[in-house]
A = this chain, B = another copy of it.
């Protein structure tokens, strides 16, 4: 039987999951692949984290160089962060190792350089676990949908924020209360900043965009807004209009390969399957020119689902090493440039909620500013029952408009002294 050896660097939550999977299911894997996968070494700086692999009789070390210098075929990086991981990647590839990682920050920072180094050294890299946990979205885009032009991706790819928004919506509670519950139940970390402000989702959509378009897209290219400021009133107004607010990561490419990429709290129409994705679940809607709309759903985090994704990479690479006669650079190419548009160049429908003084003529003035800036109003709701202290909410939805025009209108509306508050979100059907 062919043998493939791998080492794990980083024995935290995910590393522990991969060790569990190895111990529990390696016989299934051997039977199905005909390859004897061997977990040769687990590395961590922290002795306590090496207890589990040690108890299973797996060799451990505190020095990652032991893995680099060993005869393993694949290095599995589960440390996180960019600097150490980038250094490890270079050492691994230059020392003849293939590389598997769950590190979205690393990939979303330097996918072009990573692919280039791998190709030059005829090595494979796998990063299925970097996006959406156990959902096999990377392989689906790279392989199953390869014959399609991927035209659009809309994803709920951050479990923490989806959990919080679901709680706010279903239990009619504030952002703060929902965050506390999420933290109690382990769906949000003690410091949830990178989830809440959209950075985590932005890294992931950058990776999906890069492999869908073969352009060099990274976190820095994504226009990002978080969910920090979402108020319950907007969740309620959205519901009345037939929408639910989700943190949507979006990628779109036009016929000239110009790209729109963004993460925003977004009103999602109830007819969109993403509207039904609740709690900590993730889902990615992928539209290809032939396959049409497809969606992939599951747990986007957690030791066991992520271990499933890590292992699928180990198996894929193991298969290539064991059976290929030559290096297959398949899909390991990314153009150095990208054609990402400024967010002002994109078109969207918008939801706009104003709190204004309750006086005659105000609506006319606002409507004029919108008309003057090519913003066509689709619906308007003014509910006097919400009137309080002489102010009243006005809720608009618009037809498709250019974001630059919309922002210009917003600036002008802000200038009116009768306008007390402005909140806006994008809308997708």
Interface residues of A (CB under 8 A from B): 17, 20-21, 24-25, 28-29, 31-34, 128, 134-136, 139-140, 143-149, 214, 273, 276-277, 283, 288-299, 302, 304-305, 307-309, 311-312, 315-316, 319-320, 322-326, 328-331
Q: Which residue of B lies closest to A26 (CB)?
A: B147
List chain B residues, Cβ under 8 A from A136: 140, 144-145, 294
Q: Which 8 A-B pairs have the closest CB atoms?
A: A325-B325, A136-B144, A294-B298, A134-B291, A147-B311, A295-B297, A291-B308, A290-B308
List chain B residues, Cβ under 8 A from A146: 28-29, 32-33, 311-312, 315
List chain B residues, Cβ under 8 A from A29: 146-147
Min CB distance A156 to B, Å, is 13
7 contacts between A and B (CB under 8 A): A25-B290, A139-B139, A291-B305, A291-B308, A292-B304, A320-B323, A324-B325
Question: Oligomeric state, in number of copies?
Answer: 2
Partner of A148, one of B283, B308, B331: B308
Partner of A292, one of B298, B324, B325, B326: B298
List chain B residues, Cβ under 8 A from A304: 290-292
List chain B residues, Cβ under 8 A from A135: 294
Partner of A308, one of B34, B147, B295, B305: B147
Min CB distance A110 to B, Å, is 21
Partner of A298, one of B293, B325, B331: B293
Min CB distance A270 to B, Å, is 10
Asked whether A299 lies within 8 Å of B292 as measured between CB atoms, the reply is yes
Knowing A330-B33, A330-B34 are in contact, say whether A147-B290 is a contact too (CB < 8 A): no
Bound-state CA distance A304–B292 (Å) is 8
List chain B residues, Cβ under 8 A from A147: 21, 25, 28-29, 307-308, 311-312, 315
Asked whether B297 lies within 8 Å of A331 as measured between CB atoms, the reply is no
Bound-state CA distance A28–B213 (Å) is 10
Asked whether B143 lies within 8 Å of A315 as measured between CB atoms, the reply is yes
List chain B residues, Cβ under 8 A from A273: 276-277, 297
Asked whether A312 lies within 8 Å of B144 as measured between CB atoms, the reply is yes
Min CB distance A175 to B, Å, is 24
Bound-state CA distance A276–B277 (Å) is 10
Bound-state CA distance A32–B24 (Å) is 36
